[in-house]
Amino acid sequence: MDPLSPTVPAASRTSPAKRNRVPLSCASCRVRKLRCDRHQPCHNCVIRGSSNLCLYATRPSRRQEVNGAASQFESRATSPVLGRLFDGLLYRSGSHWDSVLGELAVSPIQDELPKDMSSYPYGTDPELDDELLAVMPSRSAADRLISAFFAPYAFVGPARYSIHYPTFMKQYEEYWENPSSITLSWLALLYSIFSLAMKFLPDAQDESGMSETIGKLYHSKSGQCLERIKTKQTTLQTLQAMVTRSIFGFSHREEWGAGLITPIGSIVRLAMRLGLHRDPSHFSNPTPFEGEMRRRIWSTIAQIDCLSSFHLGMPAAIRTEDFDTDPPRNLLDTDMEEEMSELPSARPFSASVPIGYLLAKNNITRVMRRVVEFLNCVQPQRYERVLQLDRDLVEAYKAIPPHLQLKNWENAPHEPAYLMVQKVQLDTIYHQTVTALHRKYLQEARGDTAFAPSQQRSVDSSMTLLQHQAAIYREAQPGGCLSSFHGYTVTPDSANFSLAAMVLCLYLQYSTRTEQGPSQMDARPQEIFRALDTSRQIWNNLAGENQDAGKVGLVLDTMLELLRPKLGLPDCHPPAIDLADSVDGEKGLSSDPTLTSGQSTSIPSLHLETYEDNARDANMDILDLNWDAWDAFVQGDDFETAYQNHLLRQDSTFPIDDLLNPSTSSAV
């Protein structure tokens, strides 16, 4: 007998054909061994807040059973093998052994295999003990926090867009009616919402620091809930809780940097585990509602991963070729409901549809992700790729909806704070990406005009970033439009502005090393110097609140005092403008209606008393900067290391001693 020929066991020849019974209970009730009322969704899934997991098996017709295998073979022979949602729940790529069974189209064999029940994203939750529930506020206090988190004017980060308000409120009401019905993942989400509300709400701030302490308590409790959830029990709601909790970490310097690398990586891997990196159109089981929520959650996660990777100077956990999930539609939460049979058409972009900000940000960060990949590539890259990325950035920037475009700061006092923050955030993301993309070509532009576009683009975007820094500082003073805003993305001591300042210092250094030197009538270097001087004073003024700001201020103190005579500028400070009192039109940086993104505009200097000013000034005369060491530092990998360590809160490798030692100079 041919050993490869199929054989039929004797027992199978005489035994009757096994009837494939279709389970009548939903998958969740079968696993939990609960009595299912067979509704859609059933009562058990509703009270547990997992309606999206109430899935029923369907029995195919005889014709479908006969044709099913053939159609699968035919379709897979002509198209790439897609990953799928295992039993409608967990994603499997083509490398997983279970997908091989799918290729063989032998579902009866799968039915006979024992299921690893622990791999399902649901299961009996660990008991909710009194410790976790003891910090639950009263109903009235909880209502206030929930209302504030979902308010249109609130800016609590991108997590807001990953939560469907009507669905959450339905679960919220069910909790107060039956507290024992909640799951750990829902409780983790609730506590994460509480923590963000306590952190960012204007009326939640108090001088005693009690609000922040309570916010940290809820943040801690949400973490305890997530620790008790096994990663194999991850649901979409678990991801929502993890994303919301991560936003709180972005707002705290002690958690920013290395402390966020692991959580973000875990979120990305778990999201891929659930198949969120593949568009729901590839699968047949997600409902239109669930599919759209999956797009929202993935878009939020992808943006967090991209932005954190950019600021930390590290490769992103998500690569461009790793996902094909479409952006979500521009819809209100009230446009969507769990029972809908199809998605409505997208609404026009306007301030009344909040998710438009997420979509505009998504367009920019998709290109930003490719820039991150370019900057972290270990192989030499052609300059044409830089120019193509720049063109794609410009295209994404121009696609920002009109109501989210930052044309100037003149109307800032008349804009809602949250809308102004969104405009500034989008503009800042764009310009910091342009600056980083072109920075390394500043040196090449000195000797080759082919790289001149990079010099122009990096300098212009860096100037715009410093203009934003000065405007944010001004508007954050009492009376400013941002004075009551307690956000995490728009602050004058953001790392976005330190990179821009270093790039402009490098540009001025190059301009002083030409044969003729800068002309007394050359307005651009002097304009850049004034912008840097303004930034220097802001950094020094914030040194008492942020130790890292003092480090940046010290570097700028040294650089500018050494650049001043080389640029032919007087030793004394220009007329002072005090920003510390108010911005009611009497004092502060004046709003310039001609300031537009991408254009360079002079920023008046300001004089703010900072610590050790006199001591620094007394020592400047004896200092001479090793420009060659500075050049090599900023252009080389050492700058990336120092900048990354600065963000990771590690010991800086900034070679200030070498830069101030002319003996280490080398010919350039």
The backbone region for 604, taken as left when phi is positive above 0, alpha when psi lies in -120 to 50, beta otherwise, is beta
Question: What separation in angstroms does the CA of 521 have from each of 136, 378, 518?
Answer: 66, 42, 8
Q: Output the DSSP codes for 466-481.
A: HHHHHHHHHHTSTTST
* Domain 24-55 CATH assignment equals 3.50.50.60: no
| Domain residue ranges of the chain, discontinuous segments joined by + | 24-55, 406-513+522-570+628-644
Contact 553, 543 (CB under 8 A): yes
Please give the pLDDT value at position 40. Answer: 84
- The predicted model gives 133-160 an average pLDDT of 86
Which of 487, 526, 494, 521 is CA-nearest to residue 507? 526
Contact 296, 354 (CB under 8 A): no
Which of 424, 310, 299 is CA-nearest to residue 370? 310
Least confident of 215-224, 269-278, 568-577: 568-577
Residues composing the chain: 668
- The predicted model gives 507-529 an average pLDDT of 71
How far is Cα 360 from Cα 656, in angstroms, rounded to an integer? 40
Please give the pLDDT value at position 484. Answer: 73
Q: What is the pLDDT of residues 528-559, one digit of tens each?
A: 999 999 999 999 998 887 777 888 888 899 88
Residue 588: pLDDT over 50: no
Residue 436: pLDDT over 90: yes
Q: What is the pLDDT of residues 174-214, one digit of tens each?
A: 999 998 888 999 999 999 999 988 877 655 555 556 777 88
Please give the pLDDT value at position 18. Answer: 45
Neighbours of 655 (CB within 10 A): 18
How far is Cα 301 from Cα 162, in angstroms, rounded to an integer? 9
Tokens of 604: 């008046």
Tokens of 638: 């050492």
Question: What separation in angstroms does the CA of 345 have from each of 292, 297, 330, 335, 349?
Answer: 12, 19, 8, 9, 12
Question: What separation in angstroms does the CA of 509 have from each of 479, 503, 524, 572?
Answer: 38, 10, 13, 20
Please give the pLDDT value at position 612. Answer: 37
Q: Which residues pair with 92 in a beta bridge?
A: 84
Tokens of 87: 């039993």
The backbone region for 313, taken as left when phi is positive above 0, alpha when psi lies in -120 to 50, beta otherwise, is left
Question: What separation in angstroms does the CA of 587 have from each of 408, 415, 471, 576?
Answer: 19, 20, 13, 11
Q: What is the pLDDT of residues 393-418, one digit of tens each?
A: 999 999 999 999 998 888 888 888 88
Please give the pLDDT value at position 299. Answer: 97
Please give the pLDDT value at position 621. Answer: 36
User: Any idea which residue has 């008991």 for tokens?
Assistant: 127
Please give the pLDDT value at position 237. Answer: 93
- The predicted model gives 574-591 an average pLDDT of 36
Tokens of 428: 């800042």
How sure is the predictor about 587, in pLDDT bands with cuts at 50, 70 and 90? very low
Least confident of 8-17, 42-51, 581-590: 581-590
How sure is the predictor about 357, in pLDDT bands with cuts at 50, 70 and 90? very high
Please give the pLDDT value at position 534. Answer: 95
The backbone region for 55, taken as left when phi is positive above 0, alpha when psi lies in -120 to 50, beta otherwise, is beta
Q: 449: buried, middle or exposed (CB in 10 Å: 19+, 13-18, 0-12)?
A: exposed
Q: What is the pTM of this model?
A: 0.72
- H or E element, residue 12: helix 10-14
